[in-house]
């Protein structure tokens, strides 16, 4: 099977190294950047350089955007960039910029009407991760799939909090993480936030509920908000 033709739109600090790694992996890449010199820097690695975004996208199987913000992505896809109109049905846009979720959903819906796939996939890891090909990719949208999310997301929708992985085990693990962090002189705000939420769940009687019952604690913090329509299934 031949490798897909890829267009990378936005070849600056992040997109440039990402495109370089795709070229090193043997993919055919067409590069475009508003500052053309940044795209031209990839030519020695084998990239084709396009004068505008639509030209880069024409004939591509996959378009990767790594642009400054949501309005810029929108302008490139649907405005002056005219990328959406240049793409063939069946192609895919992977937006690796960090944009507003509502805007990403809108982009996905607009592209779907054109027969074009869409994946919202912002990254974490900075320029070092882009250079070393070690970025964490946080994929969302119609192409994202995860067995864990399928199962646990459905449990939340069904409001089935019968224990499979009890909250008390998460409390134990989070305590171990925070204790180790203190020993090392580290501050772990995200771990502390998760620990506080599970401690709140425990304080409301949820120690033996499934860990997905953290949803109940989040709902308590947001009065009037409730996921799903089924009654809660809780351990006796």
Catalytic residues: 172
Angle of CA points 38, 41, 46, to nearest 5°: 130
Helix (H) or strand (E) holding 65: strand 62-65
| CA trace torsion 171, 232, 155, 195 (10° rounding) | -20
**Residue linked to tokens 């919202």:** 120
How far is the C-alpha of 9 from the C-alpha of 2, rounded, in Å? 22
The DSSP string of 195-228 is HHHHHHHHHTT-TTSBGGGHHHHHHHHSTT--S-
């Amino acid at each position: 099977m031949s490798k897909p033709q890829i267009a990378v739109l936005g070849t600056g600090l992040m997109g440039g190294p990402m495109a370089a790694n795709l070229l090193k992996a043997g993919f055919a890449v067409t590069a475009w950047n508003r500052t053309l010199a940044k795209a031209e820097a990839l030519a020695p690695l084998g990239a084709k350089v396009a004068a505008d975004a639509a030209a880069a996208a024409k004939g591509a199987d996959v378009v990767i955007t790594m642009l400054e913000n949501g309005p810029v992505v929108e302008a490139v896809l649907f405005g002056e960039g005219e990328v959406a109109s240049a793409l063939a049905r069946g192609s895919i846009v992977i937006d690796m910029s960090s944009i507003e979720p509502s805007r990403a959903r809108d982009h996905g819906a607009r592209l779907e009407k054109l027969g074009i796939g869409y994946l919202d996939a912002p990254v974490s890891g900075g320029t070092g991760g882009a250079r070393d090909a070690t970025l964490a990719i946080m994929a969302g949208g119609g192409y994202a799939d995860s067995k864990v999310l399928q199962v646990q997301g459905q449990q939340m929708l069904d409001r089935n909090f019968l224990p499979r992985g009890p909250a008390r085990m998460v409390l134990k693990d989070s305590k171990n993480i925070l204790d180790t962090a203190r020993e090392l002189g580290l501050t772990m705000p995200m771990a502390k936030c998760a620990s506080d939420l599970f401690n709140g769940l425990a304080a409301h009687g949820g120690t033996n509920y499934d860990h997905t019952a953290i949803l109940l604690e989040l709902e308590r913090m947001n009065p009037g908000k409730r996921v799903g329509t089924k009654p809660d299934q809780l351990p006796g």
